[in-house]
A and B are shown apart, each in its own frame.
Chain A
Amino acid sequence: MFRNQYDTDVTTWSPAGRLFQVEYAMEAVKQGSAAIGLRSKSHVVLACVNKTSSELSSHQKKIFKVDDHIGVAIAGLTADGRVLSRYMRNECINYFYTYESQLPVGRLVVQLADKAQVCTQRSWKRPYGVGLLVGGLDESGAHLYYNCPSGNYFEYQAFAIGSRSQAAKTYLERKFESFVDSSRENLIKDALFALRETLQGEKLTSSVCTIAVVGIGEAFHILDQETVQELINEFEIAGEEAPVAEPAAPDQAGVAEPAAPDQAGGAEPAAAADDDNQAAPGDQGAAPMDM
């Protein structure tokens, strides 16, 4: 994408019918660190990579709780994401105040999309530079949506945004058909695998990623670091070797096989760990609005 004479403000069309400022805003999303979402019939998992600007700083928050039944993962300008999260939270609170019931996810994303559209049609505004993966539950089931800076939104079974998200998307495209009936644990496992794809060889540890879950009977919450590390260990996802390409993936499964005897021994503790994971949603370690 090169500079041209039609990209100065958002209210100028190009001869090809494009709004370059909006497309530049979508570029900002691609520059942000990866965020991934997957859903089954009963759960939605959001996962993101924690990128720090320097070793001295803490990582930016990319996953926000919007309500008990909705959470959002962002990629792009975090400040824009924070502002939109605040908007979403207020919408949920106001809806509950009026109707004493939870705001359906589909309604929220439409409001969000309309809000983003306004910024593409005002000369004194700029588009939001953030892509949002909105995951939530309502009466019609579990949903995952992606909201663009352009004001478009799409519903997905699984999606990834941000830098190096193509690697995750490739993994998800292979496996998404199995997600609908996936168990909660397998869904999280797939999220971790997809996340690892974006790391391109870097070791996956709980300090590098953030995972959040929402499901039937389970309010949206971010999993704490120990739980995530246990899951990584359990699924032996750390992956010292770089995932080269798709053909390598079956090899990796083959690599995992020799470890199977260990895993079989680890199966019982894993089952027990599963119980712990079931308890995780209500664990006392998490703050009431664990974000």
Chain B
Amino acid sequence: MTKQQANWSPYDNNGGTCVAVAGTDYCVIAADTRMSSGYNILTRDYSKIIQLADKSVLASSGFQADVRALQKVLAAKHLQYQHQHNKQMSCPAMAQLLSNTLYYKRFFPYYAFNVLGGLDHEGKGCVFTYDAVGSYERVGYSSQGSGSTLITPFLDNQLKSPSPLLLPARDAVTPLSESEAIDLVKTCFASATERDIYTGDKLEILVLNASGLRREYMELRKD
């Protein structure tokens, strides 16, 4: 007698792609704004990005209900941190908190594929990339979501990432200027939109640097 399978899943995949690139004194975090379910588009204008702290921005693709719940939990934890420490959380601290929060639900995970971007203690750009249960690593750039398989090889080629491809390990941040990095990210999404049906509509870009946070938008193909 075969084992009974569930005929209902608590998860859904709303698609979409997230990218982040770390620079010497900036960080670019970008995601498309399409939200889908199956072959349907639910909305063309949904933000997957949230600013958790002064210097930490989280972009997450996957199941947006879980993403939203995760964002709320992190925001509440950050508020508690501020009450106790009298200051905002640093990006590396937020990175660890995100990891712990994800692992807390190891046996009923948040279906969220996260990229955390921001500035570290020295003001250099930092990007942390995660799996659904909290395994994370600091990298120079990362992509998650439905278009990540198309974008990551392209970024590997362009940014010559030291890890995990090259040894000895070199500085993680890219030598590109801020505007060059933004153009690169726009190119990534324009290309991914062509071939990934779940990526498109509009691109939301957040740039974090010493002067603060800046938001930019770019139209993408809507088919």
Contacts and interface: CB of A to CB of B under 8 A. Distances in A.
Interface of A: 65, 86, 89-90, 93-94, 96-97, 287-291
Interface of B: 54, 72-73, 76, 79-80, 82-83, 86-88
A287 B82 CA distance: 10
Contacts of B54: 288
A79 to B, nearest CB: 16
A89 B77 CA distance: 12
B76 A288 contact: no
Contacts of A289: 82-83, 86-87
B86 A287 contact: yes
A58 to B, nearest CB: 15
Contact of A288 (B72, B80, B87): B87
A94 B75 CA distance: 11
A97 B71 CA distance: 10
B76 A291 contact: no
A65 B88 contact: no
Contacts of A97: 72-73, 76
Contacts, number: 27
A93 B88 contact: no
Most chain A CB inside 10 Å of its own CB: which residue of B73, B79, B83: B83
A93 B87 contact: no
B88 A90 contact: no
Nearest to A64: B83
A82 B86 CA distance: 15
Contact of A89 (B73, B80, B88): B80
Contacts of A291: 83, 86
Contacts of A290: 86
A223 B92 CA distance: 31
Most chain B CB inside 10 Å of its own CB: which residue of A86, A90, A289, A290: A289
B76 A89 contact: no
A193 to B, nearest CB: 30
Nearest to A68: B79
Nearest to A67: B79
A89 B76 CA distance: 11
A65 B73 CA distance: 21
16 contacts: A65-B83, A86-B83, A89-B79, A89-B80, A89-B83, A94-B76, A96-B76, A97-B72, A97-B73, A97-B76, A288-B54, A288-B87, A289-B82, A289-B83, A289-B87, A290-B86
Nearest to B83: A89
Contacts of A89: 79-80, 83
Nearest to A96: B76
Contacts of B87: 287-289
**The 6 A-B residue pairs with the shortest CB-CB distance in the complex, in nearest-first order:** A289-B82, A93-B76, A97-B76, A89-B83, A93-B79, A288-B88
Nearest to B72: A97
